[in-house]
Amino acid sequence: MKIAIISDIHSNAIALKEILNEIEKRKIKQIYCCGDIIGYASMPNECIKELVKHNIKSIYGNHEYALLHNEALSWFNYNAIKALLWHKENLKRFAWEWIKRLKERRIIKASGKKIMFVHGSPDDCFEYVWPSTSDEIFEYWLNKYNIDVLVLGHTHLPFIRKIKNKLVINPGSVGQPRDGNNKASFALLDLKNMNAKIIRVSYDIDAIAQDIKAKGLPHIFADRLYLGK
């Protein structure tokens, strides 16, 4: 059984559609999202429509949380706050209702394995878990929650870590990569063989960059897409 994992779409529907096309080519039917569907870019409604259309099961990220809890806005920098306020004004009703139904984490069982999907860490959607995080910390979470696979996002930095016979996966970012590679990122989890790989997909950066600027969002969210930072 194979599962596609996406995260940190950040209102970049153009990147998302290319990722979903690639997943469809590989005939993968199950897709999970680790949150931050909205924020930064200019196509939140289009992104949510795609998730609904493809029956993608998602959780909330810190951007969705802040959208619903004003006190959390203090966690963000000026440009991110400006983008979130834009989202508050431009999200359609169906998108609001969909976001309100999201949960903090999701645990599934598949092929005899227990998988947890979170955004930041299993303890906090705002917590950054880096590729340099120690095996001991990952092992603590894997044992604490009695899971075989831990999937998380938030950093926009893809990695796969094997901890004994278990896995920790960050699929990277669909809509705003930050590892120096400007291609959209997702992960493919193979439960039969208990391994995973990161897959990168090119998309039309010019199109989303122009849309971000045309809609009055901070230009930094367009410019950084070319750099993948």
What does the DSSP assignment read for the chain? -EEEEE---TT-HHHHHHHHHHHHHTT--EEEE-S--SSSSS-HHHHHHHHHHTT-EE---HHHHHHH-GGGGGGS-HHHHHHHHHHHHH--HHHHHHHHT--S-EEEEETTEEEEE-SS-SS-TT----TT--HHHHHHHHHHTT-SEEE--SS---EEEEETTEEEEE---SS---SS--SEEEEEEETTTTEEEEEEE---HHHHHHHHHHTT--THHHHHHHHT-
Is residue 57 a part of any domain in this protein? Answer: yes
Instruction: Find the mean pLDDT for residues 51-66.
Output: 97
| Among the listed residues 9, 10, 14, the one whose alpha carbon sits nearest the alpha carbon of residue 31 | 9
C-alpha neighbours within 13 Å on the C-beta side of residue 205: 17
Is residue 111 a part of any domain in this protein? Answer: no
Question: How do residues 26-47 score in pLDDT, each as one tens digit?
Answer: 999 999 999 999 999 999 999 9
* Confidence label for 23 from pLDDT (cuts 50, 70 and 90): very high
* DSSP per-residue codes, 134-189: -HHHHHHHHHHTT-SEEE--SS---EEEEETTEEEEE---SS---SS--SEEEEEE
Residue 57 scores a pLDDT above 90 = yes
Residue 1 scores a pLDDT above 90 = no
Residue 6 scores a pLDDT above 90 = yes
Residue 163 scores a pLDDT above 90 = yes
Is residue 85 a part of any domain in this protein? Answer: yes
| Among the listed residues 196, 134, 203, 140, the one whose alpha carbon sits nearest the alpha carbon of residue 171 | 196
In this prediction, residue 90 carries a pLDDT of 98
Is residue 134 a part of any domain in this protein? Answer: no
Q: Phi and psi for 27 in degrees, rounded to 5?
A: 60, 35
Number of structural domains in the chain: 1
Is residue 67 a part of any domain in this protein? Answer: yes
In this prediction, residue 187 carries a pLDDT of 98
Which CATH number belongs to the domain containing residue 17 in this structure? Answer: 3.60.21.10
Q: How, if at all, do strands 30-33 and 57-58 pair?
A: parallel
Is residue 183 a part of any domain in this protein? Answer: yes
In this prediction, residue 208 carries a pLDDT of 98
Is residue 211 a part of any domain in this protein? Answer: yes
pTM as predicted: 0.96
Instruction: Find the mean pLDDT for residues 47-67.
Output: 97
Is residue 116 a part of any domain in this protein? Answer: no
Residues whose CB is less than 8 angstroms from the CB of residue 131 and which lie 6 or more positions away in sequence, other chains included = 155, 157, 159, 161, 170
* Confidence label for 92 from pLDDT (cuts 50, 70 and 90): very high
Instruction: Find the mean pLDDT for residues 184-193.
Output: 97
Which residues form the domain of 180? 2-105+170-227
Residue keyed to tokens 């227990």:
114
Measure the CA–CA gap between 26 and 19, rounded to whole angstroms. Answer: 11
Mean pLDDT over each residue of the chain, to the nearest integer: 97
CB 119 within 8 A of CB 152: yes
